[in-house]
Amino acid sequence: MTTRITSEQLRGIFPALATPVTADGQIDTQAVRALLDHLQGSGISGTVPLGGTGEYGALSRTERARMVAAVREHQSADLPVLAGVLDPGYHDAIASGQALADAGADALMVLTPYYTTPSQQGIRDYFLRYADASPLPVVIYEIPYRTRISIAPEVLHELSRHENIIGMKACNTDMYHFLKVVKGVDASFAVLSGEDTIFPAQMLCGAQGGIIVTANLLPKTWTRMYALLTSGQTQEALALHQELIGLLDLAFAETNPGPMKSVWDLVGVQAPHLLAPLVDCNPELSARLRQVLTAQLQAEHALA
């Protein structure tokens, strides 16, 4: 049974889960269990399966639901599951949301409608309509470098007041846009950083946490960074983030999650397979990432 979550639970680090699959493209439930074993106990606040990192568009509807069910089965009951809904159209997005709710999700991370390039009025109406019909609380997912459209701050301000819209994943790298968003959203609305690369900056400007890709690999490092930022130890947090820049450059040098999956075995996840149209990571890039990650894991083991 799912628990209806509120914005107060959208605090801390939520790994944006990559999807472990077998060679024939089905969910590898054993690898899902291994991934969650790696993440739990590190201080994470929940997980986010089926985002872009989770290869949503390449999975069948059946496998998407199987991924959420596997996460919900093996994840601690007190940690929420925020499942991505990345369909471009309303009716498919509603059907997907219901299926993921039935599979055990606690909230739905719903992507800005794309391809049609809607107006701001269209975006507003879409999310209001979705929130009215959604079986679960909604987290807005804004990522304009993928969808080709930003959500105007004033639209987000209005949406933030809807009782069933509890937060957003902010992947707009325009920091002035981010500042205007956090200035006017409702107190009941949680803004989460969606960018590993600028997470400390977004936290210092008003984010309550982050949905972080490389937390799949280094959850303790990211939860430590969050703890430093929320306790006022800004310089220590920035120094820790600086130590990750080399890893971040490599992890995102090719389309995510390709590089990350190529080194997953270092954290006990034996699932390197990608889904079409993604192809295996360049071996040289993977080798460099493996070297850097090995050093970072050694540093993470020293964290309290």
- Are 138 and 127 a contacting pair, CB within 8 Å? yes
Catalytic residue among 141, 220, 226, 261: 141
Catalytic residue among 56, 169, 226, 261: 169
CA distances from 198 to 63, 181, 207 (A): 32, 16, 11
User: Quick one: tokens of 207?
Assistant: 């984010």
> Is 180 known to be catalytic?
no
Strand order in the sheet with 12-15: 12-15, 209-212, 190-193, 165-170, 138-142, 107-111, 82-85
Angle, alpha carbons 159-162-164 (nearest 5°): 115
User: Quick one: tokens of 43?
Assistant: 């201080």
User: Quick one: tokens of 96?
Assistant: 């997907």
Give residue 152's Cα distance to chain centre: 21
Hey, is 13 helix, strand or coil?
A: strand
> Is 220 known to be catalytic?
no
For β-strands 190-193 and 165-170, DSSP reports them as: parallel
The pair phi, psi for residue 4, each rounded to 5°, is -75, 115
- Are 185 and 155 a contacting pair, CB within 8 Å? no
Angle, alpha carbons 11-179-200 (nearest 5°): 50
The catalytic residue positions are 141, 169
